[in-house]
Chain A
Amino acid sequence: MKWIPNFNSSNSLRVIFVIAVFILLFLSSIAYKHNQDLNESSKLVMHTYEINIQLERLMSAIKDAETGQRGYIITRNGRFLAPYLYSRDKVNASFVTLKKLTADNPIQQQNLENLFKLIIQRFVSFENCLKYSEPKTYDKRKLDNYMFSGRIQMENIRFQVDKMNDIEKKYLEKRLKIYDQEISLSPIFSISLFLTALTFILMAYRQISRDFERLKIFNKKLLISSGLMAESETIGKFSTWQWDLDSNKIDYSDNQFRLLGVEPNSFIPEKESFLEFVHPDDKDVVQASMQGIIERKNLPFVYYKIVRPDHEIRHFKSTGKLLTDQQGSKILLGINFDITDEHLLNIELQERNKELEKSNKELASFNHVASHDLQEPLRKIQTFISRVSDADKAVMSDSAREYLSKIESSAKRMRVLIDDLLLFSRTNTTKKEFIKSNLNELLENAESELTEIIQEKKAVITTSKLPKLEVIPYQIEQLFINLIGNSLKYSQLGRIPEIVIESEKVLSADYPDILEQTIKKFHKITFKDNGMGFDPQFKETIFILFQRLHSKTDYPGTGIGLAICKKIVENHKGFILADSDPGKGSIFTVFLPD
């Protein structure tokens, strides 16, 4: 289904967001690890400094002992011996601490062991120094020896302590270097990761804003089109409704409510609510078609009536289609047309049609009356007159004979009238079969039909080449008979009748007032005679039924001949004109479509 715009960027957006979240999680785990490493290294530093401090403390305790001992040796005051006496404990305490601190390092343990031995030796030297400095046991040489060896031992201890400090320092440096390496690798990595995540998020943002723009445009279009739709529904007197078959929700357009004669949204449409408006006569039809729409997927036009709340009956025409969208949900779309005006017009037309049919039938029955019922009594009158034999007439009075002859001529005239009238009405009612015919042949037929009068009047008929046209042959023949017959009948006394028949092709555009403009080309056929002519003021009236310009005693006729000509030409979508110069002749012009 193409009727719903596609917004499937949400899936790619989701992917982008998931990737960004993973990157961020990864980044935070790296930061956590960094933190841990930092902690570790600061602990290490602390550890090294603690060892350093304890070693220094150890050193200062020994130095205190040395200083105290010297003071005592010089002064012999027992007070100076106090630091020396305490120093042993201090050394022991520091030692225990150091032992603990270096528990994880066997080299330092070994160094500590060595240091301990050196310190013990030092203390032994102290003891000996004290011993040989006592006045009772004084021995200057031994004292000097021990004092000097104590001095060397002190230097050894210092060396050992420095050595241990160096090891710790180096160890620290090594460890820190490793950490530094680890840490120095990650910032570039994490920054690049961060930038990647940022790019993803920016991409997502771009997509979102693009979608948003598209949505805005669609929304605007939607608003415009729904506005236009609502307007066109009002103008066109139609309405739409949608029935979502999955959610069973039905939506009416505003005009649907209006067509039903209620305010827009005045009720919530349900499956049955439309049927409530349908005229009781049509409920079954509408219900069946609603069912049919679901089964057949579309609905042929259904015609029915609805009853508005104010009891006004409106005529509706409806159609519908089952639509399936991309998600496969089915929506029934329906369109209702209010065709009340057309319906009423239709009824009026039908009535007029019926009237026309009726009058046509009347015309046909008139035809029958004229052809049969009217002729029958007339025929009998004529037959009975003919049965009055000459012998009968001989015994009649003169006036009776004259009356009888007048009855006879009147009956004859009536016969001619009826025949002509019949011919006129048949021109209209008989079937009109158009056949491609050579007009020259039809003219020849007409002339042979008129042979008697042509010979009698010694008439000269000049004919140019006539076209071949799609015509009703017998009618065109009749037209030629009537026109030529007319010219012969109204010929000038003492002048040989001359009739010139000519034909040419003309454009309808050249005769905008008289010719049908949808037909481009016409044939103009003229019948020119040298007869008595007529007053041009009658050039239109002579084509009217029963119009005569002469008294029937001078020129017998019914006034139907030219009316028949006009009818025949009209049957061919053509036109006939007459003009005359009285005393010189007349000209009849017939236009027939190419």
Chain B
Amino acid sequence: MQKNALYILLADDDEDDRLFFKDAFEEIKIQNNVDFVHDGMQLMDHLNNPDNKLPDILFLDLNMPKKTGKECLIEIKKTERLKNIIIAIYSTSSSEEDIEDTFIQGANIYIKKPSDFNTLKKIINEVVTVNWHYHTSGLNRDNFLLRLK
């Protein structure tokens, strides 16, 4: 593990999605360290454990058992130690309601899970290479949902 490698955490209950995610990271060859949790409870336990390093970017699925992504989002933003983690919502749903809600709750970006592996690679590449400090300061509803040209 290199010193300046990004630490990425994906919270998703779907095994296939975790597999795609892992493969995509391997293929884009960015120095990184990807971890996975399987549900909301596990995610919160992981984050709240002071022995664990906090992720640079958290990819958060909304539809998860035990604790939904939205509940986790609210909890993270309420917790002083966790509230500065960059959160990318990573969901199958593209409903206006979900986008609106997560934007209000303070997520940094909304990614609709693509149905093409190459698109997934592009998205991940885009997200991890973005200058988050710059992006966050100019965040608005229009650029919240990630659209690839």
Contact = CB atoms under 8 A, between A and B. Distances in A.
Nearest to B20: A383
Most chain A CB within 10 A, of B16, B92, B116, B118, is at B92
B113 interface: yes
B120 interface: yes
A380 B117 contact: no
A136 interface: no
Interface string A409-433: 0010001000000000000001000
Nearest to B91: A372
B116 A383 contact: yes
A383 B92 contact: no
Contacts of B94: 371
Interface of A is mostly: helix
A191 interface: no
Interface in A369-397: 371-372, 375-376, 378-380, 382-383, 386-387
A376 to B, nearest CB: 5
B63 interface: yes
A383 B120 contact: yes
A375 B115 CA distance: 9
Contacts of A376: 14, 92
Given A372-B63, A383-B20, A430 B96 contact: yes
B116 A382 contact: yes
Contacts of B63: 372
Contacts of B92: 371-372, 375-376, 379
Contacts of A371: 92-95
Interface in B98-149: 113-118, 120
Contact of B113 (A379, A387, A415, A430): A379
A371 B14 CA distance: 17
A378 B93 CA distance: 13
B93 to A, nearest CB: 5
Contacts of B113: 379
Interface in A492-518: none
B125 to A, nearest CB: 16
Contacts of A379: 92, 113-115
A386 B16 contact: no
B117 A383 contact: yes
Nearest to B23: A387
A387 B20 CA distance: 9
B115 A378 contact: yes
A371 B95 CA distance: 8
A386 B119 CA distance: 10
Interface string B3-16: 00000000000101
Contacts of A430: 96
Nearest to A388: B117
A468 to B, nearest CB: 25
Contacts of A415: 115
Contact of B114 (A372, A383, A387): A383
Given A372-B63, A380-B16, A386 B96 contact: no
Contacts of A378: 115
A383 B92 CA distance: 13
Given A372-B63, A380-B16, A386 B116 contact: yes
Contacts of B118: 386
Most chain B CB within 10 A, of A371, A379, A430, is at A379
B122 to A, nearest CB: 12
A278 to B, nearest CB: 50
B117 A386 contact: yes
A372 B96 CA distance: 13
Contacts of B93: 371-372
Contacts of A382: 115-116
A430 B96 CA distance: 9
A445 to B, nearest CB: 14
B68 to A, nearest CB: 12
Contacts of B114: 379, 383
Interface in A341-383: 371-372, 375-376, 378-380, 382-383
A541 B71 CA distance: 46
Contacts of A387: 20, 23, 117
A386 B96 CA distance: 27
B14 to A, nearest CB: 8
Most chain B CB within 10 A, of A372, A383, A387, A415, is at A383
A372 B92 CA distance: 6
Nearest to B94: A371
Contacts of B14: 376
A382 B117 CA distance: 9
Contacts of A380: 16-17
B119 to A, nearest CB: 8
Contacts of A383: 16, 20, 114-117, 120
A421 to B, nearest CB: 14
B60 to A, nearest CB: 15
A378 B115 CA distance: 8
Contacts of A386: 115-118
A386 B121 CA distance: 12
Interface in B53-96: 63, 92-96
A372 B69 CA distance: 14
A415 B96 CA distance: 18
A46 B114 CA distance: 154
A382 B111 CA distance: 17
A430 to B, nearest CB: 7
A372 B20 CA distance: 18
5 contacts: A372-B92, A379-B114, A380-B17, A383-B116, A386-B118
Interface of A: 371-372, 375-376, 378-380, 382-383, 386-387, 411, 415, 430
Interface of B: 14, 16-17, 20, 23, 63, 92-96, 113-118, 120
Given A372-B93, A378-B115, A430-B96, 8 more contacts: A371-B95, A376-B14, A380-B16, A382-B115, A383-B16, A383-B114, A387-B117, A411-B115
By Cβ-Cβ distance, the 5 closest A-B pairs, closest first, are A382-B115, A379-B115, A386-B117, A386-B116, A387-B117
